[in-house]
Amino acid sequence: MSKTENFDQTITLALTGASGAQYGLRLLECLITAKKQVYLMLSPAAQTVIATETDIKCPGQPKEAQRYFSHRYHAAENQLQVFGKDQWMAPVASGTNKSSAMVVCPCSSGALAAIACGTSDNLIERAADVMIKEQRQLILVPREMPLSAIHLEHMLKLARLGVTMMPANPGFYCQPKSINDLVDFVVARILDHLKIPHTLIPDWGGETND
């Protein structure tokens, strides 16, 4: 882990129990590489999905997860902070926190419903509720198919409140050659909306990957 740095932006990232843990983990890596401070939350279901879909053995306790991911992605000191679902004194639970944006990636249909209804039964739901009430940037990345009328109604409700809905639907015009390329396409679009520069995919009309 490198020395403490001053970070120009703080992003809240939550992973929930939808398939597609790779999207959230790759986004976490890119945010750390871009020298953004990250507030990270993992739902219990997300930890199960990570263990199922990847070779990552994510510790269950927030402090242990913080050490694990900080080491894995070479985070600077204090760059990454991990919070548990009942950690109500975490900065993300209040409108006074300094996070400029929040991304839920992947976003399960359950998390989508809870955010749309404002239940705030855990820290992820409360953090999203804070972003909506403070009119800050909130991006949800659902990974579900097919979508029922319930899912679509929740998405429409949130979109009308200013939430950005970004289903994990990779494009193919970059001529992807691997699963990682498909993951990078979705992560690149998220970074675009966060206005964070990247080189994951070329701009439209640019050259395709070799």
* CATH assignment at residue 77: 3.40.50.1950
pLDDT at 208 over 70: no
Higher per-residue pLDDT: 5 or 39: 39
Residue 1 in domain: no
Residue 122 in domain: yes
The range of the structural domain enclosing residue 101 comes to: 10-193
User: What are the phi and psi torsion angles at 165 (to 5°)?
Assistant: -100, 120
pLDDT at 87 over 90: yes
Both tokens of 80, joined, read 């990454």
Residue 210 in domain: no
* Average pLDDT of the residues in 198-207: 83
Residue 79 in domain: yes
Predicted TM-score (pTM) of this structure:
0.94
pLDDT at 199 over 50: yes
Q: Which residues have C-beta within 8 Å of that of residue 184, sequence separation ≥ 6?
A: 26, 200, 201
Number of domains in the chain: 1
Residue 199 in domain: no
pLDDT digits (tens, 9 = 90+) for 167-179: 999 999 989 999 9
| Best CA proximity match to 12, nearest among 94, 119, 67 | 94
Residue 5 in domain: no
In this predicted structure, what is the pLDDT of residue 207?
Answer: 59
* Average pLDDT of the residues in 4-22: 92
Taking the C-alpha atoms of residue 54 and residue 20, their distance in angstroms, rounded to an integer, is: 10
The torsion of the CA quartet 79, 83, 184, 53, rounded to 10 degrees, works out to 130
Residue 2 in domain: no
Residue 189 in domain: yes
